[in-house]
Amino acid sequence: MLRYIRTLYPLLICCSIALFFPIGSAVAGKYWNVPSKIRGTIDSPLEVTFELYIKNKRNRRVLSTTDRTSFVVYDISKNKKLVSINEDRQMMAASLIKNFVMLAYFHEVKHGRQAHTNTNRGHLRAMIQVSSNLSTNYFIRLLGGPARVDRILRTNYPYFKQTRIVEYIPAGGRTYRNMTSARDISTFFVRLWHGRLPYSEKMKWYFKLKNGDYIFKQTYIPSWVAVYNKTGTVYGLVGDGGILVLRDPQGKSRPYVFVGLMEDRTKTSYKNRWQSFANWRNQRTFILRRLSERAYKYIYENHYGGRLVRR
């Protein structure tokens, strides 16, 4: 009897797994054949896909041992987090800090301490669409300086736990001291989508303006997918975060959040910049685009029963 149970037990386990992952599924094979120590915190096949892809880039030395990565993928429609890789890790914000500067500005507008003038509208567009550092510093100065902006955020939006604004963006754009995290950026966009930030619709308008994104352009994601995002780039940090809105086979909008950050703090030192900035950046934007494709494919096919046709 004992021998019979020992024979039957593995079969029962395999059958249980098959209920969740169809036999022959490539995702299922990759997921269940990797060591548990490689899997992230969510235990989802998409997260394992991210982990294995990053591991491959490290093995091929596209990413070095000093590169730190952080990712979040969150399906807003299903209220389900699919990827959580080092999301609480505080990283250099670069231009991603501009999301929070805009939030602090609209907070002050909401409470009547600032006026939403045409001049301010122009600076907002420049700050978000073309990532103007001059416009960013304009708002930081308008709100009373970095410490004042940081205090607005910490006092009124305490759920942004790793975000800190401590400096204006220096001449040349080499900003290394302002900080954020993938969790804070994903929280920002989820709350933005649900209208839980001041003037959410106005902010969404700015994020939807065409810009140099790393999660949609140069991917096979269909052109009709709407994108609300902001990038962050400096020699030491490449990142992008935002909302992508796909349409399921029934034509219903299905928004999800994608955030990806790759940081190498050794690159803030000139002596460690052995590679051209453009080359270094392009290698990492390539990674973000490929992972964004994988997230879109997984959500479209596994959550909404679609069939992806690459353009």
Return the CATH number at 292.
Answer: 3.40.710.10
> What pLDDT was estimated at residue 21?
37
Q: How many domains does the chain have?
A: 1
Q: Is residue 16 part of a domain?
A: no
Measured CA to CA, the distance from residue 46 to residue 293 in angstroms comes to: 11
Q: Is residue 14 part of a domain?
A: no
Q: Is residue 5 part of a domain?
A: no
10-residue averages of pLDDT along the chain (311 residues)? 42 38 41 47 87 98 97 97 98 98 98 98 98 98 98 98 98 95 98 98 97 96 97 98 97 98 94 89 98 98 88 53
Q: Is residue 11 part of a domain?
A: no
Question: Which amino acid type is present at position 174?
Answer: R
> What pLDDT was estimated at residue 5?
40
> What pLDDT was estimated at residue 311?
53
Domain around 276: 24-303
Q: Is 246 exposed, middle or buried (0-12, 13-18, 19+ CB in 10 A)?
A: buried
> What pLDDT was estimated at residue 42?
67
- Write down the pTM of the prediction: 0.87
> What pLDDT was estimated at residue 271?
78
User: What residues have CB less than 8 Å from 236, skipping those under 6 apart?
Assistant: 92, 94, 176, 263, 264, 265, 266, 267, 268
Q: Is residue 1 part of a domain?
A: no
Measured CA to CA, the distance from residue 277 to residue 287 in angstroms comes to: 16
Q: Is residue 164 part of a domain?
A: yes
Model confidence pLDDT, tens digit, residues 53-101: 999 999 999 999 999 999 999 999 999 999 999 999 999 999 999 999 9
Q: Is residue 228 part of a domain?
A: yes
Q: CA-CA distances (angstroms) from residue 306 to 249, 297, 302, 303?
A: 6, 9, 8, 8
Q: Is residue 193 part of a domain?
A: yes
> What pLDDT was estimated at residue 41?
61
**Can you count the helices (H) and strands (E) in the chain?**
10, 7
